[in-house]
Amino acid sequence: MELNSNQIAEILPHRYPFALVDRITDYEPGQWAKGMKCISAAEPVFCGHFPQQHIFPGVLILEAMAQVGAIAILSLPENQGKIALFGGVKNARFKRKVIPGDVLEMECMLTKRRGPVGIGECKAMVNGEVACTAELTFAISG
């Protein structure tokens, strides 16, 4: 199942400039999601990171991966209208720079869940090359 930006906005509460997923390419509610973000030089973050050499910030890559994972958990009927909050980040590794013109392809597999708390194993890639991996902990609120 694919979701466009309007459909994503029906599930996630994030809005510009913090909506960091352009498309969900496939997902299974409660299990996993795959999505993408097209990195553009026109993004406001590049005014300060870094004006002389644009590099998409690692913390925003983590946030984008978390938003992909949030689609997987918030698309469950019992979680409609709720939000997923960061609970923690473990073992984050950044393997390559992400720059304007790159398409960040992300996936998040929900590996554990106990009540409103869960863990997602996430990966972000550019042209088949790993850009970032991390284990993200979330909590459902609302």
Burial of 90 (0-12, 13-18, 19+ CB in 10 A): exposed
Which helix (H) or strand (E) covers residue 71, if one does? helix 58-74
| Cβ pair 103, 126 in contact under 8 A | yes
**Known active-site residue 14:** no
**Active-site residue, selected from the candidate residues 49, 82, 96, 113:** 49
C-alpha 2 chain-centroid distance = 15
Residues with active-site annotation? 49
